[in-house]
Every structure is written in structure tokens, then in C-alpha cells.
Amino acid sequence: DAGELEPRSSLQRRNLEPEALCCNRHQHSRLEPLECRDLLVQNALFTGDLDMVQKYFTKGSAINLIIETRGDVLRWTSSKRGLWSLSYEQELTTPLHITASRGHTGCLRLLLQRGAAPDLAPGGRTALHALSEDGYRPLHLCRSADSIECVRQLLQYGASVNSQTEEENDTALHVASRLGLVEHVQLLLHHGAELEVKNKEGQTPLNAACAQHHQPQDMDRYYRVCQLLVESGASINAADREQQRPLHLACKNANAQIAELLLARGANVNVMNYGGSTALHNILQVAAYKLEHHPELVVRALLNHGAVRVWPGSLLKSCHSCPRAIEALVNSYSHVRVSEDWEAAVPAEVVQKYPCFYQSLFSLGHSPRSLQHLARCALRTLLEGRLQLVLSQLHLPRALHQFLLLGFEDVLY
């Protein structure tokens, strides 16, 4: 009966039986929203069981119920005895929220037809939602590839493309760029998303895309996001609060495609962040942990665009598991003095894994570099700062072209 429908302020909460939903909602219209704790009703909503939702939510039933669910966040709560325990935070929601968030279109349409209030927001967000307590709008919540149609509809019906969240100051373009959502970025740019808006961390959308950690299988889509932003006019050298430029951030994530893109567009290869690190420092710091990303490609790209070199001997302890990074650095010098300390810095198991390379490296302690290598170094020195430009205009054999650009041979001559 109607006694099972209670205001949120009621001290005693009882489970709401399914048949209790058939009460006249108008007699409670001036009361606080009613609460439903019946698991059968909740299960019908969460699973999108249209037949059961039709049964429970008749035309004369209370549609705008409050449902308390368990969230994903743990918090400390105190019991009557003064003991504290860790439990999941409870969230307030409605039937409309549940069906909307899970894409149960039929149930959502039914609830709206039977009087569900679209602006009801017991947990701080509407079902669409219009604006949450922390400044998130619907566009900010389109965080998966499958939400592209939602973005398209929101923009078509006037959603503000450049609105920012209150805490992070993120725009929808920041969010989409950070998550590597190519179609979202393309659509937002088409609708006038601003490229140089900075969030709380001082990041532009390009900074946000370059800064986001991603797996090797995601490198290509993050490159395509950056490519869209750059081709639309994003600032290549925009600095965040830590004076990290897009190139610094791309190198931390060992994404060679993005690094090459930024360098080709004129990124400053030797500018330092607040910590005094250049882009080359950043990639060498993470090389051992990003082997699947092929960090040696980033090292080579930076050296070919005029990065100030780092002495390879100082990196053997941290980069020995990435011998090609060491190879590129050694080959950027005409001569290197290899000491006994170099051999001691490389674990025996690593030498056994890459015998040809490390044996050739250690032998440089008592043998000169080849004439071919010396000629390469002389030409690279002559063309310093113009190497890529000049080589692109010369019709050199591919093998020679790659040799001048520090192509990997896994052995030193």
C-alpha cells in the first residue's frame, strides 16, 4: 500500500513492494521524493527488463523514486559503538538515471512517457545531465568511443563546446584528447572547440593528449589525436605549470610518432622544464620501463633534430636493457672513451642477451671507429640544425640516408 512509499526524511525505511508502486503519485506531489529499496524493482531497472518495468511503473505509479545504490568509492564510516569501518559510499539515483546510464532506451522512453522528471538530480547530476555540482556537463562525460553519437546529438542541439569543469578547468576537448578519442576530437574541433584553453595544470588539449600514459596498442590513436590538434593550429611549444612542453610529455610516454610530428612542426628540442630536463632526458629516464614502446626511436629522432647529446657512459646502469638507445648515443659522437667501468655497469645476463652489441661496445676501448662512421659524424656536424631539411632534398640511396640518420645496426664499428 502507499505506506511503503516514504519521504527521504523518514527515520524508518522499509522495503518498497512492487505493488506499492501503483499508488497515486499526485497525493505525494508536495512531499519529498519517495524511496524505493525493493530489489526486484531495482533489478528490472538495472537489467533493462522492459516488461517488468512496465508492470512496476504503471501510468498511475510513483515514477520519481529515489534509489540508494552502492558506489565504487570506499570511505570510513562510524558505527554506534564508536568503531570505524571501511565501506562503499552510497549513491542516490532514480529509475531514469539507471536506465539512461545503461542505455536501456525502451525503459527510458517508457519512464519519460509516464512522467519521469528529467531534471531530478538526487546525487548532484541529472539523467542527461545538464550540469553537475562539480561543473561537469554532458559533453565532459562522453568518455568512450561508443559515446560519439551522444556527442553529435549534444552539439547539434546547442551544447556549449568550450565550457570548463569547475575543479580541473577541463573542456570537452581536454577530456577527449586525454582519452585518445579521435572521432570526438574531430567533431569537437569541427564545432569550434578552442585549442589554447588551459586547465588547472596549465595544459592545453595537446599537452593533455601528450601527457596521458598509454599502452603500445594505443600509440597510433594518440598520434592521430595530436595530428588533428596540430593540423588545426595547436601551439607546439605551449608550456604547462611545470614548463613541460608537448615534446617533453610525449617523450615521457615514449611515443615516437608524436615526437616526430612535433619536431617536424618546429618543437624546441632543447628547451628545459622546471626540473632542468630536456626531452632527451625525459625519454632516457623512462627507456628501461617502456621497452615495448621502442624508446630508441624517440632517442634517435631527438638526436637527428639537434638535441644536445648525453654521454652514453653515464646511462649504462639505467639504460642497458635498451641497447639501441645506447647505440644511437654512441654513434652521435665521433669518438668515445670506453673504460672498464662501462663493462662493469652492464649485468652479465644483459651482455648474454645482446652479445654482438655489447662486445662491439666494449671493444671500442682499444680500437678506433671506422672511417665510414667518422665521415658520417663529419657530415652531421656540418649540417647540424639542417640535417633533416637537407637530406629531404637529396636523392640519396635509402641505405645511405638511413645510415646518416643513425639507422640501427645492433653493432658498433
Residue 328 pairs with which residues in a beta bridge? none
Domains and CATH numbers, the chain: 2-113 (no CATH), 131-235 (1.25.40.20)
Q: How confident is the model at residue 96 (pLDDT cuts 50, 70, 90)?
A: confident
Q: Is the pLDDT of residue 8 over 90?
A: no
* Greater model confidence, 178 or 98: 178
Cα 374 to Cα 169, 188, 408: the distances in Å are 52, 51, 16
Q: In percent, how much of the chain has pLDDT > 90?
A: 57
Q: Which amino acid is at 86?
A: L
Average confidence score pLDDT of the chain = 85
The lowest-confidence range among 76-80, 149-153, 345-349 is 76-80
The whole-model pTM stands at 0.73
